[in-house]
Amino acid sequence: MKIITDFLPNIWSERAGGEIDTVVIHAMNAGVLYPKFAFSFNKCKKILIDYDVSSHYVIDRNGKIYNLVPEEKKAWHAGVSKMPEPDNRSGVNDFSIGIELIGNEESPFSQKQYSSLNFLLDDIKKRRKIKFIVGHQHIATQELVDLGLRKDVKWDPGKMFDWEKIK
């Protein structure tokens, strides 16, 4: 499989240091702003740019992998976040790699996406000592909303994501 480099325009920052040991899996789509192009990579990329957020990788519905932020840089994909117990570290962007799957809460992810995700996870693990693979929903929780640290709970990758399909 090939990874397509298509870096975002500086929507990242330097890492403060420390080891990258976590992968955060997300889901996104462009349906609210572009209903006819909900699963378009180009529209999803435009949304990331317009909203000044980023992820290291995006996997489209056909399984194409796009590298948007160099892994050694900090992407802005997790927002205010805290790892589940017993880890409990906050500021997950500091020690993680973010992967967006193009999809939504109602559509199952494609087998090509799962194949590409497994390929990408294996590739990342060759370079990094990954200890945790979590969903955005696991690190942007009601607890953080209740503490007044977040406005909302994140749903992604959501109920349609089959955790059993990743290695």
Of the residues 14, 19, 100, 164, which is catalytic? 100
- 8 A C-beta contact, residue 63 and residue 80: no
Told to judge if 100 belongs to the known catalytic residues of this protein, a careful annotator would answer yes
Q: For the CA atoms of 93, 128, 49, 112, what is the dihedral angle to 10 degrees? A: -120
The residues assigned a catalytic role are 100
